[in-house]
Each structure stands twice: as C-alpha cells, then as structure tokens.
Amino acid sequence: MATTSTIPPKKASAIPTAPGALPVLGHALQLLRDPLDFVCGLARYGELVRVRLGNHPVVVVCDPELTRRLLLDDRTFDKVGPIYQRSRDVVGTGLAGCPHSGHRRQRRLCQPSFHPHRIPEYAPHFTAAAEHRMASWQDGQVIDVSGELMTMTMRSSVAAMFAAEIPHRVERLLLADLTTLLNGSFRQIISPTVLNRLPTRANRRYQLATERFGRTLREIIDHRRTDRTGPSDLLASLLGAVAPEDPDGRPVLTDQEISDQLRTFFVAGTETTAATLGWALHLLSRHPRVQSTLQAEADAVLGGSPPTAADLPALRTTANVVTETLRIYPPAWMLTRETTRPVVLGGHAFPTASTVAWSPYLLHHRADFYPEPERFDPQRWSDRKPDRTTFIPFGGGPRKCIGDQFALTQATLALAALAARWRFTPVAGPPVKPVAKSTLTPRGLRLRVNRR
Ligand code: HEM
C-alpha cells in the first residue's frame, strides 16, 4: 500500500455513492443529460464520491489536495485500462495517451519543442492565422464561432508545426482530414469496435481521413529528412530530438513516432484552444463592459499593429480573460486514471484496476475557492496568481499539458488580434449550452461581428 499513515484505511466500498443510480444504467442518464451540473453536485457528498457507469464503478475525486496527489503519482494512477486502450487504438500512441512505462522517454524528447524560449518562434503563426480568418468576415455578419475558431486554430497549429513551407494543396488536405478526425474521434473511442468496423459512410470517411492524414504527415517528414535546411519549427525540433544520455547526440525519434506525436499535438491542442477562444468570445459578448476594457487594452498596447510575443507582458486584461475563461469552461473538463497497484487515497484503500476520475470543472466551480463561481470576473486574477491545486485546466504533475504555454500564447494573441478589430454581440436564439464530450465546447455558438 502506498501510505505511511498509521490509521487503518477504510475500504473503497465505504465511499459514499451519489444518489439517483438506476439499475443497469447507474448514473449514465444523469451524466448524459447534464454532465456538468451532475459532476459539480458531487462535491456535497464528500471528498471522494462513487458513481456508476452502467455496472462500472468510478470514484470521482472532489478535493483539490487529493486531485494533486493523484496527478503527482502517475505511476500508480496511470493512463491504462479500456478507455485509454481505445483511445490509443483510435488516435495512436503519442505522448498524451501512452502509459507511464513509455511516458518519460517520450516527454524528454518532446519537451524541447515546447520550451518557453521556442514559443516566440511560433507566435507569428498564431497572429497570422487570426488575421487570415478575420479577413473573410463582413461588417454585421453572423459567424459560426466554433467553425471559425477551429479553422483558425488548425491553420495556426499547422503553420507552427511546419512553418510556412508546405504547399497550399497539402495544407488544405491536412485541414480537411484533421476536421474529420476531430469530429469523429470521440464517437470512435466510445463506440464498440465492431460498430466502428461497419462499412457506414461515417466510418469510411473517418478511416480514409485517418489514412490520408498519416500519409501526408509521413511525406512531410520524409521531405524534411532529405532537406535539412528547412525552417526552425516544431517538426525540426522533433527531428533533432536527442536522448540526453547519448554523448553523440544522435536524433532518436523514428518517422512513425514523430508522425504519432504530431497527430497527438493536433488532436490534443486544436479543439481545446478553439474551445477556449470560443468561450471567451461568448463571455465577452455577454459582458460588454469587459469587452470594452479588453478593446481599450488592445488599442493602447498594439496601436493598430498585429500583436507579437513581445506584447504579451502588457496584455494583462487579455491574459486575465483567458484565465477566467479556462476556469469557467475548462475544455478538458473530466479525465480518468486507473490504479496499477493497491493504494490509499483520502483514507480509503483502492484495489488495483480501480477507475478514478478527476475534474477541473468541478474544482473550478467550488464556491469555497471561487466565490460566485458562475460569475465571469477576469478581475479575480488581477491580484491573484492561478494556484496549481485549485486551478488545473492543464492538469498537473508529470502528465501536465506540454502545450500549456503554446496554448496560452496562441489564445492571448488571437484574442488581442480579434478584440482590436471587431466587436462581438449575441444573436437571438436558444441559450448556448456547453457540449461536454471529450472537450467542453460551445457548439452552435453564433455571434454578430461588427468592425470597430
Ligand atoms: C487551452 C488549450 C489546452 C488545454 C485546456 C489542454 C489541457 C490538457 C490537459 C488537462 C492535459 C492533461 C491530461 C491528463 O492528465 O490526463 C493535457 C495534456 C497534454 N496536452 Fe494539452 N491542452 C491544451 C492545449 C494543448 C496544445 C496546444 C498542445 C500541443 C500543441 C497540447 C498537447 C498536450 C499533450 C501532448 C498532452 C500530454 C502530456 C503528457 O502526458 O506528458 N495541449 N492537456
């Protein structure tokens, strides 16, 4: 047992079960109907609360300290079990989904690509993608926010990964296939394999896009291997990744590994960042005063020019809006681990192969840490730094998001670029409802854009 306490632990079966479980379904209906409300409500039953998905018990951690313990001990609370196996089958064995056994090597090799000193190299691509997208908007137009921001974020990630050197035709293919992959991967992960193999139109489209996306990535890697004079981008950094223990400093990632990592970065980084920006615009459109403050900051700091990495320290309000958006709508709202050995957490003994869930959404909405948690108030962050125990949009511990600075820079620069040129207002229609699948998205959000 991984504990030194002298108090004998209680059995995991003594953990309170959330009320309302149905025979066979367990809490599945509540989770499907209103997952966010259901998850937030769990904290009132204790630090650890048991729910049932069908017959499968899952313990949800509702306490920040216990969540941190779980995140720090990634050997015991590992990314194994059926959910991760399915996700590896669907999206490959990149850094985000690999088990602890392969994680440290992959992380060491990928880390230099995301080192803070590299971020300014990627920044011009973030701004250029925002400028490119805005150029197609008309004054007074109603835009499909999620669609627009997905395109912007994908384009910006493609550019940061491969600099500007891929032909437009190849870029178009990558964007089209990535859209199909992102739209289909959640369904592929949760559906039984046998359903995924049926020759339906959706399955065939997904399969074709997966194959072509992999082929395109391998061709780009191949081309770069033969021409090492290419630009300094994320791909160059992965191609040059060396094992620190190798005195000759030989590159070690195979083409397949690089392709898997690139795919992981696209999948892990695109929808999450697009959702953050989408929620930010949604909140700003409903809080015109905050929007005006943001615009005043963009005017004062940028003076009509596109934002650059050098502007980041002065874009304080913009950064606070991003932080507050990530608190209210953390895109990775709920995640799971499986225990690889018996362990004690919160005074309860968990056997091997227990499923444990943790939720940034739940912690971010606890009124004892964030008074009036539903209120959008970027000012909360003006004299308070995000705390790594109660503010965890990027997770924590050894599996913390490798792209956190990449994403924060991308979101802050894009938001400053948008705020400098446009005003966003709500349009009549049903209230925007968060769609909580693998990512928490404002699907269907439409806003009117007016040139400033
Ligand atoms: C706002 C945007 C983003 C959010 C909210 C986010 C959130 C997260 C979270 C919560 C985790 C931890 C998952 C876990 O512990 O189970 C994670 C891991 C990861 N993220 Fe992000 N992410 C974002 C953007 C990005 C970007 C832009 C990239 C890459 C370009 C990226 C790549 C990854 C990778 C590779 C991992 C796995 C790290 C590891 O296991 O060592 N993410 N992300």
> Per residue in 395-414, pLDDT tens?
999 999 999 999 999 999 99
Does position 191 have pLDDT exceeding 50, yes or no?
yes
What is the distance between the alpha carbons of residues 49 and 44, in angstroms, rounded to a whole number? Answer: 9
Looking at residue 164, its pLDDT comes to 59
**Residues contacting residue 62 through CB under 8 Å, at least 6 positions apart:** 42, 43, 45, 46, 47, 48, 49, 362, 363
Mean pLDDT over the full length of the chain: 90
Question: Which of the two residues, 28 and 107, has the higher pLDDT score?
Answer: 107
Is 273 in the same domain as 324? yes
Q: Give distance in angstroms: CA of 137 to centre of ligand 1.
A: 30
The last residue of a domain, from among 343, 375, 392: 392
Is 76 in the same domain as 202? no
- Residue 221: helix, strand or coil by DSSP? helix
Looking at residue 1, its pLDDT comes to 41
Cα 244 from chain centroid?
A: 28
**pLDDT confidence tier of residue 40, bands split at 50, 70 and 90:** very high
Q: Which of 22-31, 242-251, 252-261 has the lowest mean pLDDT?
A: 242-251
What is the distance between the alpha carbons of residues 76 and 207, in angstroms, rounded to a whole number? Answer: 34
Instruction: For residue 394, give the nearest of 406, 384, 385 by alpha carbon.
Output: 406
Q: Give distance in angstroms: CA of 342 to centre of ligand 1.
A: 28
**Cα Rg of the chain, angstroms:** 22
Q: Which of 61-70, 91-100, 163-172, 275-284 has the lowest mean pLDDT?
A: 163-172
Question: Which of the two residues, 416 and 185, has the higher pLDDT score?
Answer: 416
Is 323 in the same domain as 337? no
407 CB near ligand 1 (under 6 Å): yes
Region of residue 20 (left: phi > 0; alpha: psi -120 to 50; beta: else): left
Is 358 in the same domain as 409? no
How far, CA to CA in Å, does 185 sit from each of 131, 199, 274, 300, 433? 29, 16, 17, 42, 21
**pLDDT confidence tier of residue 2, bands split at 50, 70 and 90:** very low
DSSP 251: B
87 CB near ligand 1 (under 6 Å): no
**pLDDT confidence tier of residue 249, bands split at 50, 70 and 90:** low
Does position 335 have pLDDT exceeding 70, yes or no?
yes
Number of Cα atoms under 13 Å in the Cβ half of residue 344: 13
Looking at residue 373, its pLDDT comes to 97
User: Locate tokens 């938001």: which residue?
Assistant: 415
| Mean of pLDDT values over 15-22 | 92
**pLDDT confidence tier of residue 257, bands split at 50, 70 and 90:** confident
Name the residue at shortest CA distance from atom 23 of ligand 1. Answer: 269
Domain of 384?
Answer: 1-92+333-392
Looking at residue 5, its pLDDT comes to 58
The tens digit of pLDDT for each residue in 128-143 reads: 999 999 999 999 999 9
For residue 119, give both structure tokens: 């971020």
Q: What percent of the chain has pLDDT over 70?
A: 96
The last residue of a domain, from among 345, 375, 392: 392
In ligand 1, the atom with minimum distance to the C-alpha of 107 is: 41
Is 77 in the same domain as 110? no
Is 208 in the same domain as 299? yes
| Mean of pLDDT values over 434-446 | 88
Is 88 in the same domain as 106? no
For residue 84, give both structure tokens: 């991760």
Instruction: For residue 175, give the nearest of 163, 188, 158, 160 by alpha carbon.
Output: 158
| Mean of pLDDT values over 288-299 | 98
How far, CA to CA in Å, does 249 sit from each of 115, 235, 242, 244, 309? 18, 17, 5, 7, 31
Q: Give distance in angstroms: CA of 400 to centre of ligand 1.
A: 7
262 CB near ligand 1 (under 6 Å): no
Name the residue at shortest CA distance from atom 18 of ligand 1. Answer: 401
Q: Give distance in angstroms: CA of 126 to centre of ligand 1.
A: 18
114 CB near ligand 1 (under 6 Å): no
Specify whether the CB–CB gap between 186 and 166 falls below 8 A.
Answer: no
The last residue of a domain, from among 374, 392, 410: 392
In ligand 1, the atom with minimum distance to the C-alpha of 331 is: 5
Q: Residue 31: what residue type?
A: L
CB atoms closer than 10 angstroms to residue 373 = 16
Instruction: For residue 361, give the nearest of 339, 393, 384 by alpha carbon.
Output: 393
126 CB near ligand 1 (under 6 Å): no
Q: Residue 171: what residue type?
A: E
| Mean of pLDDT values over 417-433 | 93
| Mean of pLDDT values over 18-40 | 87
Does position 248 have pLDDT exceeding 80, yes or no?
no
Q: Which of 33-47, 229-243, 339-353 has the lowest mean pLDDT?
A: 229-243
Is 345 in the same domain as 218? no
What is the distance between the alpha carbons of residues 427 and 292, in angstroms, rounded to a whole number? Answer: 18
77 CB near ligand 1 (under 6 Å): no
Q: What is the CATH number of the domain that holds 75?
A: 1.10.630.10
User: Locate tokens 């056994």: which residue?
Assistant: 101
**pLDDT confidence tier of residue 160, bands split at 50, 70 and 90:** confident
What is the distance between the alpha carbons of residues 209 and 178, in angstroms, rounded to a whole number? Answer: 8
Q: Give distance in angstroms: CA of 151 to centre of ligand 1.
A: 19
Specify whether the CB–CB gap between 446 and 143 falls below 8 A.
Answer: yes
Q: Which of 12-21, 131-140, 223-232, 396-405 has the lowest mean pLDDT?
A: 223-232
What is the distance between the alpha carbons of residues 133 and 415, in angstroms, rounded to a whole number? Answer: 13
Looking at residue 443, its pLDDT comes to 82
What is the distance between the alpha carbons of residues 345 and 315, in angstroms, rounded to a whole number? Answer: 41
Is 290 in the same domain as 325? yes
272 CB near ligand 1 (under 6 Å): yes
Name the residue at shortest CA distance from atom 19 of ligand 1. Answer: 401
Highest mean pLDDT among 80-84, 196-200, 338-342: 338-342
Name the residue at shortest CA distance from atom 37 of ligand 1. Answer: 96
Q: What percent of the chain has pLDDT over 90?
A: 58
Question: Which of the two residues, 86 and 350, has the higher pLDDT score?
Answer: 350
Name the residue at shortest CA distance from atom 24 of ligand 1. Answer: 269
**pLDDT confidence tier of residue 33, bands split at 50, 70 and 90:** confident
Specify whether the CB–CB gap between 151 and 175 falls below 8 A.
Answer: yes
**Spatial strand order in the sheet of 355-358:** 48-53, 56-61, 355-358, 335-339, 77-78
Question: Which of the two residues, 169 and 242, has the higher pLDDT score?
Answer: 169
Is 364 in the same domain as 226? no
Instruction: For residue 133, give the nearest of 151, 146, 145 by alpha carbon.
Output: 151
273 CB near ligand 1 (under 6 Å): yes
| Mean of pLDDT values over 286-295 | 98
For residue 67, give both structure tokens: 């969540």
**Residues contacting residue 218 through CB under 8 Å, at least 6 positions apart:** 255, 259
Specify whether the CB–CB gap between 378 and 323 falls below 8 A.
Answer: yes
Residue 212's H or E segment, with its range, is helix 201-226
End-to-end CA distance of the chain: 62
What residues are paired with 345 via a beta bridge?
Answer: 348
Name the residue at shortest CA distance from atom 21 of ligand 1. Answer: 401
Specify the number of domains making up the chain.
Answer: 2
92 CB near ligand 1 (under 6 Å): no
Highest mean pLDDT among 117-126, 234-243, 285-294: 285-294
270 CB near ligand 1 (under 6 Å): no
Name the residue at shortest CA distance from atom 43 of ligand 1. Answer: 401
User: Locate tokens 């730094």: which residue?
Assistant: 385
Is 282 in the same domain as 185? yes
Q: Residue 177: what residue type?
A: D
In ligand 1, the atom with minimum distance to the C-alpha of 270 is: 27
What residues are paired with 48 via a beta bridge?
Answer: 61
406 CB near ligand 1 (under 6 Å): yes
393 CB near ligand 1 (under 6 Å): yes
Is 267 in the same domain as 313? yes
